[in-house]
Amino acid sequence: MTSGHTDGQGLKGHVKKKGLIVVVLLVGLGLTLLRFTGGIGAVTNLSDRNPWGFWTAFDLLCGIAVSAGGFAVASAYYIFGFKQFHVYVRAALTTAFLGYFFEVIALVYEVGQPWRLVYPFFLSQGTTSALFLVGLCVALYLAILSGELLPALFERFGRRKARARAVRLAAPLAVIGAVVAVIHQSSLGSLYLIAPSKMHPLWYSGLMPLFFLLSSLFAGLSMVVVEGGLAHKYLRDCTDDRHVRDADRAVSACGKGASLFMFAYFIIKCIETAAGNNLQYLSSGFGAWFLLELGGGVALPAVMYFIGVRRERPGLIQGAAIITVLGVVLNRFNVSLVAFNYNLPSAERYFPSWMEVALSVFLVALLILAYRGICSGVPILRTHEDYEEELR
C-alpha cells in the first residue's frame, strides 16, 4: 500500500508539472500574438524615457552572464588542459548555445521593429557603438558554439570521419570563442558608461566592463554546477555512470575557479568604492541594498565555495552556486533597473508589466524543453558507446 501511494503521488506530481508547462506555453503564445499584432506597447510599460526594461535586464544581461559557462569551461578544458572539466564541456556549451539563441529570440520581442534587427550588420554599421559590438560578437559566438557542438551531433548520426574533423577544430574554436566572449561580456558593461548622471554612484564605475566580465565568469561556472545538479536529478535517463562518477571532480573545479574570480571581484569592488569616495552612500537605503548584493551575492558564496572545495563537500558547492547565480541576477537588475534613473520621481520610474515577466518565463520554458530534447537525442550528458575510450 505504501508503494502504491508513493507511485500515485509521483504520478500526480508529474501531471501537475506537465499542466503547469502547458499553461505557461499557452499564456506565452497568447501574449506573443498580442505583442506582434498590438505592438510592443500592448504588453510592456516601456516608454521613451525608459526604453530598456525587464527584458533587457533578465533576457539580455542575466541570460548572457549565466551562459558564460560555455566559454569558461571550454577554455579551461581545451586551452589550459584541465581534464576534470570534460564531464561538463558539452553540457556547458549546450547551455551557452541555447542561452544565446533564445537571447536572439528575445530581441525579436524587445526591438520595436524586429525586422530591423539585422540593420546594424548590413545597412547602418555603427562600428564605434558598444551595442553594435555586442550584437556582432553575440552573432559570431553563436556560430562558434554551433561548431563546438558538431562532434556530439556527428556522433548522433554516426558520421565518424566528420566527427574526427570537428574534434580537431575544437581547440581553435575554443580560443576564438574565448576572445569573442570576453569582448562582448565586457562590452555589456560598457553600455552603461555613457550614463553617469542616471546611475547611482555605488553602481556606476569606469571599471564596469571589468566587473561585468569577472561576474560573468563566476556566474557561468556557477550555472554549470546548478545545471549539472538539476540534470542528475531530472535527466537521469540522459546520463551515464561515467558522467555521474566524474561529476564531483568537475563541481570542485568549477567551485575553485568561481571562488577565485569572486574574491578578485570583491576586492576590486571594495577598493574602487573607497577610491571613488562612495563610502558616504553606504548609510542610505541604496547603500544597504548595495551591501546585500556585494556581501550576500559575492562574499558569502565565495567563502562557501572555498570551504566546500577545501573540505570536499559538493553539497556546499552547489548551494554556493545557487546563491551566486541569484547574486549576479540581482546585480544585473540593480545596474539596469534599480540603480538606473534612481533620481526620477517614483511616478515616472519604470516598473514591468506582468506580461513582460510572463513572456520571459515563456522563453525560459522553451529553453528548458529544448535542452531536455537535445540531451535526450544527442550525447551531451553521456559518452557515446562508440567513443567510450576517448576523452574529449
pLDDT at position 177, please? Answer: 93
Q: Are 257 and 221 in contact (CB under 8 A)?
A: yes
Q: Are 126 and 120 in contact (CB under 8 A)?
A: yes
pLDDT at position 391, please? Answer: 45
Cα–Cα distance, 291 to 306 (Å, whole number) = 21
Phi-psi region of 158 (alpha: psi -120 to 50; beta: other; left: phi over 0): left
- Over residues 267-288, the pLDDT tens digits come to 999 999 999 889 999 999 999 9
Tell me phi and psi for residue 199, to 5 degrees: -105, 145
Residue numbers of the chain with a pLDDT score lower than 50: 1, 6, 391-392
pLDDT at position 343, please? Answer: 86
pLDDT at position 270, please? Answer: 96
Amino acid at 257: G
pLDDT at position 237, please? Answer: 86
Q: Are 91 and 371 in contact (CB under 8 A)?
A: no
- Which residues lie below 8 Å from residue 264, measured CB to CB, with a gap of 6+? 214
pLDDT at position 242, please? Answer: 79
Q: Which fold has domain 25-382?
A: Formate dehydrogenase/DMSO reductase fold (1.20.1630)
For 238-251, the three-class secondary structure string (H helix, E strand, C coil) is HCCHHHHHHHHHHH
Cα–Cα distance, 24 to 29 (Å, whole number) = 9
**Angle at the Cα of 36 (from 143 to 368), degrees rounded to 5?**
45
Cα–Cα distance, 178 to 132 (Å, whole number) = 19
Domain ranges of the chain: 25-382
